[in-house]
């Protein structure tokens, strides 16, 4: 593994739920299944800390609006999105 990938995995491991499992999807990259029921994807190992910050902001906004997503993607930092259904 590249050092950047190891750093990304460690950062993601710190951010995801304690009982969560890190996953890799060939289409979406690194991610996890959130304990609240949705899938999270952060893509490749680039700008992981920024992606995690964007993810946190999305989760906060969705919580405020009482929206339950099926998927949150921050694969592309300038184009994050969420889906209500898979």
Q: How many Cβ atoms sit within 10 Å of the Cβ of residue 22?
A: 13
Q: Give the tokens for residue 81.
A: 């999105």
pLDDT surpassing 80 at residue 86 = no
The rounded distance, in Å, linking the Cα atoms of 84 and 15 is: 22
Question: Which pLDDT belongs to residue 15?
Answer: 84
pTM over 0.75: yes
| Region of poorest pLDDT, from 44-48, 57-61, 80-84 | 44-48
Mean pLDDT of 61-74: 97
Q: How many Cβ atoms sit within 10 Å of the Cβ of residue 67?
A: 11
3-state secondary structure of 43: strand
Instruction: Answer yes or no: are the C-beta atoms of 31 and 46 closer than 8 Å.
Output: no
Question: Which pLDDT belongs to residue 17?
Answer: 81
């Amino acid at each position: 593994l590249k050092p950047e990938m190891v750093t990304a995995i460690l950062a993601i491991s710190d951010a995801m739920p304690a009982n969560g499992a890190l996953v890799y999807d060939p289409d979406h990259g690194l991610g996890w299944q959130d304990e609240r029921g949705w899938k999270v994807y952060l893509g490749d190992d680039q700008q992981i800390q920024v992606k995690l910050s964007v993810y946190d902001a999305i989760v906060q906004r969705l919580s405020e609006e009482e929206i339950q997503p099926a998927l949150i993607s921050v694969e592309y930092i300038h184009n994050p999105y969420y889906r209500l259904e898979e």
